[in-house]
Amino acid sequence: MATVTYQDATRIYPGSDTPAVDRLNLEVQDGEFLVLVGPSGCGKSTSLRMLAGLEEIDEGSVFINETDVSNLPPKSRDIAMVFQNYALYPHMSVFDNMAFALKLRRMPKADIKQRVDEAAKLLDLQDYLGRKPKALSGGQRQRVAMGRAIVREPQVFLMDEPLSNLDAKLRVQTRSQIASLQKRLGITTVYVTHDQVEAMTMGHRIAVLKDGLLQQCDSPRVLYETPSNVFVAGFIGSPAMNIKTVSLTESGAMFGDTALPLSREVRDAANGDGNGEVTIGIRPEHCKLGSESSGGIPIEVDLVEELGSEAYVYGHAAYDGASERFVVRTESANVPRLSETVYVVPEPGHEHVFHASSGDRLN
């Protein structure tokens, strides 16, 4: 198997002054499933293509194990890539698509058949080996693309948004298959997606990118509970964290007439070039609906999303002269009516505090 290391890896596209990937430093451990995630244009696919040899590296290096592969052609890197659009040969059967790379290596027919049969069994494709891609569903085509990668027995799997063409139900089913398959094979995998829910459910670690810069790389749980800055806090989690920049006083963070208490250390850190403000993040599940006498933040309900055992209440709160969106998770038995004013009480100790200017975490 293999480790992967990005060392100050930078890619600047011709005609652009801004790097698509800017001094990326990242280590992927042997057998790890690492997910690159971020909004469109953040550099995640470019990072993957730099590793694959499909994009030049303008500065820095990329290593597979101890070998600098920055200037090696793709075929010399011992990687296998699964693309978003499957990239299957339409005139070939499933068997021939999966066997194609092995035939190019002039591998004996018996060995080719053994590898393809083993991969087909892993992917539940035994009954489809004689079919053409057009006779398969989207999920089956994606499994064929994965099978073609598996039979090569590469050092590293690269997957570029392989589930984005599938419907929601099939996407959930296929991502669990990919995760369990990777665990069984133990092959180092770098996986790109824009879907943070997909990232959270699949990756051993997640690397969050924005504008070509690595924001944070950690386990899903750490990213969710202790995001390092405002961007990661707002990107990880569904529905997104409630993030508000509010006035800072000796009483704490002021949501209108409601003060959220903050420690002296946090207030002092926030006051450093914070212009008397602080950015507060509160997850929807760390709020509860109270009464006016409970001293909560008043919000007017715009939408109620009922999900059976629970519901998400979307509304807007008016403070500091602006109307701000707010989301609260509540039990289905405690669902307010549309246009009703409810009072949101944040759970003490669950707030995320960030510097108002830099966006860096303070608590």
Structure confidence by residue, pLDDT tens digits, 308-362: 889 999 999 876 666 788 999 999 888 999 999 999 888 888 999 999 999 999 9
Tell me whether residue 24 is exposed, middle or buried, using C-beta atoms within 10 angstroms of its C-beta: 0 to 12, 13 to 18, 19 or more. buried
Q: Give the three-state DSSP class for 158.
A: strand
Q: Which residue has the tokens 């994606």?
A: 142
Strand residues in the chain grouped as ranges (E)? 4-11, 21-28, 33-37, 59-64, 67-68, 79-82, 156-160, 188-193, 205-210, 213-218, 242-249, 252-255, 258-260, 277-282, 287-290, 297-306, 310-319, 322-331, 341-346, 352-355
Question: What pLDDT does 321 receive?
Answer: 61
Question: Are 304 and 336 in contact, with CB atoms under 8 Å apart?
Answer: yes
Split at pLDDT 50, 70, 90, the class of 259 is confident
Domains, the chain, in order of start with CATH, read 4-234 (3.40.50.300), 243-355 (2.40.50.140)
* Residues 193, 196, 197, 200, Cα dihedral to 10°: 90
Task: Write out the two tokens for 326.
Answer: 């707010």
Mean pLDDT in the chain? 92
Separation between Cα atoms, residue 44 and residue 67, nearest integer Å: 22
Question: What pLDDT does 320 receive?
Answer: 62
Share of the chain above pLDDT 90, in %: 69
Split at pLDDT 50, 70, 90, the class of 84 is confident
